């Protein structure tokens, strides 16, 4: 029987690895919408970061609400936008504070814009080697109507993306040895 340690050691020295490719991520980006799958993705990323000495950036991004009508559009006022931004920052601060006990460098970033674009931009800005995202696992009509930011990022990201599927996660990062 071949041991996992032997496989890891052989792969680390393998010529199959492209020159300059990093084996372990040093910077992990975790986009969040504060849902349960996003929270589980953060837990996974933090557990992984603890094991490999990586830093974690928690990102929340949101669009400014615009409601369209046949005769025009209703755009959010500066007061509403300010309240949305303040609430989002408070939520990010609370998540970071709840993980202060962890031996991982965790910082938060709040941005306005289309999450699909912002995630790519921030991944580049923080030099993320890995993006860890939660997924609801929707299928069929609900996925078609709601779309999937995670699916889009998986298809278009320049680097690796690890997805964590809600409460149905079978393997926890702490179990990986």
Structural domain contains residue 46: yes
Task: Give the global pTM.
Answer: 0.77
Residue 124 belongs to domain with CATH number: 3.40.50.620
Q: What is the mean pLDDT of residues 151-169?
A: 84
Structural domain contains residue 9: no
Residue 56: the pLDDT is 98
Tokens of 10: 């052989």
Residue 76: the pLDDT is 81
Residue 90: the pLDDT is 97
Pairwise CA distance, residues 111 & 116, whole Å: 12
- Containing structural domain, residue 135: 22-175
Structural domain contains residue 16: no
Residue 140: the pLDDT is 59
Residue 24 dihedral angles phi and psi, to the nearest 5°: -115, 140
Residue 5: the pLDDT is 53
Per-residue pLDDT of 9-33, as tens digits, reads 544 544 344 455 557 899 999 999 9
To the nearest whole percent, how much of the chain has pLDDT over 70? Answer: 75
Per-residue pLDDT of 126-153, as tens digits, reads 999 999 999 876 665 545 544 589 889 9
Pairwise CA distance, residues 72 & 69, whole Å: 5
Structural domain contains residue 169: yes
Per-residue pLDDT of 88-109, as tens digits, reads 999 999 999 999 999 999 999 9
Residue 110: the pLDDT is 97
CA dist list (Å): 104 to 9, 50, 53, 59, 157: 26, 6, 7, 16, 24
Count CA atoms within 13 Å of residue 130 on its CB side. 23
71 DSSP 8-state letter: T
* CB 25 within 8 Å of CB 54: yes
Residue 135: the pLDDT is 87
Structural domain contains residue 150: yes
Structural domain contains residue 118: yes
Residue 77: the pLDDT is 84
Per-residue pLDDT of 49-90, as tens digits, reads 999 999 999 999 998 877 777 777 777 888 888 999 999 999
Pairwise CA distance, residues 174 & 177, whole Å: 8
Structural domain contains residue 112: yes
Residue 4: the pLDDT is 47
Within 10 Å of residue 118's Cβ, how many Cβ atoms?
21
- As for how many domains the chain has, the answer is 1
Please list the residues that pair with 136 across neighbouring strands.
Answer: none
- Binning the chain into helix, strand and coil, the percentages to the nearest 5 are 45, 20, 35
- The answer on pLDDT for 120 being more than 60 is yes
> H helices of the chain, where?
4-12, 36-52, 78-98, 115-125, 140-146, 149-156
């Amino acid at each position: 029987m071949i041991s996992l340690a032997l496989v890891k050691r052989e792969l680390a020295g393998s010529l199959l690895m492209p020159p300059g490719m990093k084996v372990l991520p040093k910077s992990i980006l975790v986009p969040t919408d504060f849902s349960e799958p996003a929270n589980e993705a953060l837990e996974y990323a933090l557990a992984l970061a603890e094991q490999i000495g990586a830093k974690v950036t928690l990102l929340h991004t949101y669009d400014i609400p615009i409601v369209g009508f046949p005769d025009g559009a209703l755009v959010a006022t500066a007061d509403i936008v300010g309240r949305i931004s303040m609430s989002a920052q408070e939520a990010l601060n609370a998540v970071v504070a709840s993980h202060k006990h962890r031996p991982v460098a965790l910082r938060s970033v709040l941005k306005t814009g289309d999450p699909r674009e912002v995630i790519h931009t921030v991944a580049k800005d923080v030099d993320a080697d890995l993006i860890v995202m939660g997924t609801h696992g929707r299928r069929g009509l609900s996925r078609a109507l709601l779309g999937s930011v995670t699916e889009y990022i998986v298809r278009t990201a320049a680097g690796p993306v690890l997805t964590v599927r809600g409460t149905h996660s079978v393997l926890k990062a702490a179990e990986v040895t």
